[in-house]
A and B are shown apart, each in its own frame.
Chain A
Amino acid sequence: EPEVTQTPSHQVTQMGQEVILRCVPISNHLYFYWYRQILGQKVEFLVSFYNNEISEKSEIFDDQFSVERPDGSNFTLKIRSTKLEDSAMYFCASSENSNTGELFFGEGSRLTVL
């Protein structure tokens, strides 16, 4: 069964450093997403991406964040200058189209900012 894969599974970084989280969505999917979950809190929407551009982003997704699809398979989330409050589990997800409903999630990348 196809899966969304994410790397790394866990990254520890110093405050102020740049971090890139990588995702490989399911190959025939057209919509890609990043969500995050701060420990003990709800899963929060960050950004959706379609047709090589951002389709929607939340208030959390400020200028420190960017997304890119550098090739035909990868979908990345970059945090330019990490802050302590960026520590969270980041989930990538993809969906075949916007109306099927089901999002397929990756297993997450845990980011720890020291």
Chain B
Amino acid sequence: GENVEQHPSTLSVQEGDSAVIKCTYSDSASNYFPWYKQELGKRPQLIIDIRSNVGEKKDQRIAVTLNKTAKHFSLHITETQPEDSAVYFCAATTDQTGANNLFFGTGTRLTVIP
């Protein structure tokens, strides 16, 4: 089955700086890569996703890049703000199973220091 690795496990940045979180996956059939944000005590929420037919996607301060050859994808947050502090999870799946059986990374705890 799919194995997703995520680094770093913790990340502290100064407000206004950029943050980058990296993930690798093992199954070359994976074609959908979402990123979820989980604030303390709250539910995971989708913040951005990318499919294998594109290499980059951007939504305001958040961007995701995908390198299918190397089987890795990254989350980039620019101009970080204190409210970006949370745990971020990457995930991978192939939608060929008929359902979104996501395989998650171990999470990155991001702390933005004011």
Query: Residues of A with Cβ closer than 8 Å to B?
Result: 4, 31, 33, 35, 41-45, 48, 50, 55-56, 58, 91, 95, 98-99, 101-103, 105-108
Contact = CB atoms under 8 A, between A and B. Distances in A.
Given A48-B97, A55-B98, A55-B99, 5 more contacts: A33-B101, A42-B4, A50-B99, A101-B95, A102-B34
Interface of B: 4, 32, 34, 36, 41-46, 49, 51, 89, 91, 95, 97-107
B43 A43 contact: no
B99 A42 contact: no
A31 B106 contact: no
Given A98-B99, A99-B95, A107 B105 contact: no
B101 to A, nearest CB: 5
A42 B34 contact: no
A91 B99 contact: no
Contact of B46 (A4, A99, A102): A102
A56 B4 CA distance: 19
A84 to B, nearest CB: 22
A95 B100 contact: yes
23 contacts: A31-B99, A31-B100, A35-B104, A41-B106, A42-B4, A42-B105, A43-B91, A43-B104, A45-B102, A45-B103, A50-B99, A55-B98, A95-B99, A98-B97, A98-B99, A98-B100, A101-B51, A101-B100, A103-B34, A103-B102, A105-B45, A106-B43, A107-B43
Nearest to A3: B43
Best-buried of A41, A48, A106 by chain B (most CB within 10 Å): A48
Nearest to B44: A105
Contacts of B100: 31, 33, 48, 95, 98, 101, 103
B106 A42 contact: yes
B44 A101 contact: no
Contacts of B98: 50, 55-56, 98
Contact of A108 (B43, B91, B103): B43
